[in-house]
A and B are shown apart, each in its own frame.
Chain A
């Protein structure tokens, strides 16, 4: 076998320009697949990080039935913001934070005009641990318990009401019993995260202020939970569901924002199609090279047969030649791709807009195993399979005809 491998390597190198072209085709396929793939993965990671670490958390806990009516921000599906729920969830291995929230709808007014809003009351100490990227797109200051009535508005909402940081107005909302209450607020900042609904309707206030407004001291409607690793989210969510029992529902970020997961999956599907094209181009290059080699070396194949080389050894020889091309092509494509990805990642990624969003994400390219392994495997196996037909043709040559070839 060693002799065949050595012979195969020499055969590949005998026509250096053709070998370089073929290796280049394979390498280009691998390079483009990994580069495109790493950026798509990076974009997906940025989008998911934005959701998981900036908006909803890894998963959320509500009272049973909340998800069916969440558009109405119901207050009657509430629960205590202290006690067993929080402390028990925090004890679960892998949970890094739990943020209690009180979500409700109301009206914001600036004295001359008012508009409908969706308000989230948060405990900033807990919230910003669960959502470290919550204020990435904030213009101004975040919610702070030191400023009891300090609120953050969506950018479009603040603009519509003519509010600037330091100015204020009134938020009015109905309590569980239907009684209308109103409290003054002071605008601390405006959130411009590219989400149209949040920009036009979203308001974030301190939890205590929200509870005071609604007369719901010590009560919340939602827990946002963060985890150490994204991969562990489903398992931890299931653990929490078991812990809390049937009176509560636990929904992961994928259930809360299914469109994001759909977008990520769609991106990967498109990536797969594009990469398949690259791979097909590379494979056509290999088939062409190998067929040319068989054609050019027909008499040589005849000579090998004449001196006693068996058909399967001829096949092996050409398959080793394809393998040589696969190793060099795949290896060079991998090396260049990793070098570029590493260089871009070290610089902190590249800025880009997520589809359907004005928000700018920094895409840090990444090559997870589930991208790397199929790419290398497809390029490697594809190249060898591309050599299979020419190898078979070489082995089926009739020695007399082969020796007669010019």
Chain B
């Protein structure tokens, strides 16, 4: 069963008196364990697509199944639950909570769902070590570099053990060396833990490593979706990673 199944997804906004159509019937399937890049020019609809996949927004019409469950028409609180349990987010601007230290930021999605603190702390420390944050656990976000902040965001995205991690331009605000480190880290997590990553990016370095590139233009998926990479993703998943 595919992790993400979008069928004929349409999304339109009302901008004043004008109706803006952002997605014009998108079909997309993402398998477990894929490392997928969604690319397209500004205004092409890729952020809207990621928002819908991430349950931050709802499609105007069409079907969205996440791990087999139709979730396209669920209400806000149900979608919040889905995001909390199944989806991790990595943002371009890191979006850490400034009053929380590194550990608290990482643990935040689990704390708000009332998870047992002891088990959570063990898992947090393990993930923090994996992303190289052990020396900075008690630091506040404003005491960290951009790369360190993005590592915190990655750890926060992974601590809930999600099925899907969505990364919106995760390297856009990083220097090239740090961006390479972050890409390597996400590749490693994808390879070792089988976490499914979906990126929105312009960064050619991310695209170099993507096993699948999905192109969107003017709200429509373009032909040329990398079928071979898609297949590689399937294989990767089938191998149990």
- Give chain A nearest CB distance to B87 CB in angstroms: 8
Chain B residues with CB below 8 A from A398, complex form: 57
B51, B76, B91, B112: residue with the most chain A Cβ atoms closer than 10 Å: B112
Given A306-B89, A308-B84, A310-B80, A14 and B99 touching (CB < 8 A)? Answer: yes
4 closest A-B pairs by beta carbon, nearest first, are A308-B84, A10-B99, A307-B109, A303-B95
Number of interface residues of A (CB under 8 A): 22
Task: Determine if A308 and B111 form an interchain contact, defined as CB atoms under 8 angstroms apart.
Answer: no
With A14-B99, A308-B109, A311-B77 known, 20 other A-B pairs at CB within 8 A are A3-B112, A7-B97, A10-B99, A14-B98, A299-B93, A300-B97, A300-B98, A303-B96, A304-B108, A305-B80, A306-B56, A307-B109, A308-B160, A310-B76, A310-B81, A398-B57, A399-B56, A399-B57, A400-B56, A403-B95
Chain A residues with CB below 8 A from B160, complex form: 308
B137 at the interface (CB under 8 A from A): no
> Which residues of A (303-328) have their CB < 8 Å from a CB of B?
303-311, 313
Chain B residues with CB below 8 A from A11, complex form: 99
- Give chain B nearest CB distance to A317 CB in angstroms: 10
- Give chain A nearest CB distance to B175 CB in angstroms: 22
Task: Determine if A306 and B57 form an interchain contact, defined as CB atoms under 8 angstroms apart.
Answer: no
A290 to B241, CA, bound (A): 47
Task: Determine if B51 and A313 form an interchain contact, defined as CB atoms under 8 angstroms apart.
Answer: no
A313 to B76, CA, bound (A): 13
**B interface residue numbers (CB < 8 A to A):** 51, 54, 56-57, 76-77, 80-81, 83-85, 89, 91, 93, 95-100, 108-109, 111-113, 156, 160
B56, B83, B84: residue with the most chain A Cβ atoms closer than 10 Å: B56
B85, B96, B108: residue with the most chain A Cβ atoms closer than 10 Å: B108
Chain B residues with CB below 8 A from A302, complex form: 95
**A interface residue numbers (CB < 8 A to B):** 3, 7, 10-11, 14, 299-300, 302-311, 313, 398-400, 403
Given A7-B100, A10-B99, A308 and B56 touching (CB < 8 A)? Answer: no
Residue of B with least CB distance to A10: B99
Chain A residues with CB below 8 A from B156, complex form: 307
Given A3-B111, A400-B56, A303 and B76 touching (CB < 8 A)? Answer: no
Task: Determine if B77 and A300 form an interchain contact, defined as CB atoms under 8 angstroms apart.
Answer: no
Task: Determine if B91 and A303 form an interchain contact, defined as CB atoms under 8 angstroms apart.
Answer: yes
Residue of A with least CB distance to B77: A310
Chain A residues with CB below 8 A from B84, complex form: 307-309
A398 to B93, CA, bound (A): 18
Task: Determine if A309 and B112 form an interchain contact, defined as CB atoms under 8 angstroms apart.
Answer: yes
A307 to B113, CA, bound (A): 10
A14 to B83, CA, bound (A): 28
Given A400-B56, A403-B91, A308 and B80 touching (CB < 8 A)? Answer: yes
The 21 listed contacts between A and B (C-beta, < 8 Å) are A10-B100, A11-B99, A299-B93, A299-B95, A303-B91, A306-B54, A306-B56, A306-B83, A306-B89, A307-B89, A307-B108, A307-B109, A307-B156, A308-B83, A308-B84, A310-B76, A311-B76, A399-B56, A400-B51, A400-B56, A403-B56
Chain B residues with CB below 8 A from A306, complex form: 54, 56, 83, 89, 95
Residue from the list B81, B95, B109, B113 in contact with A300, Cβ < 8 A: B95
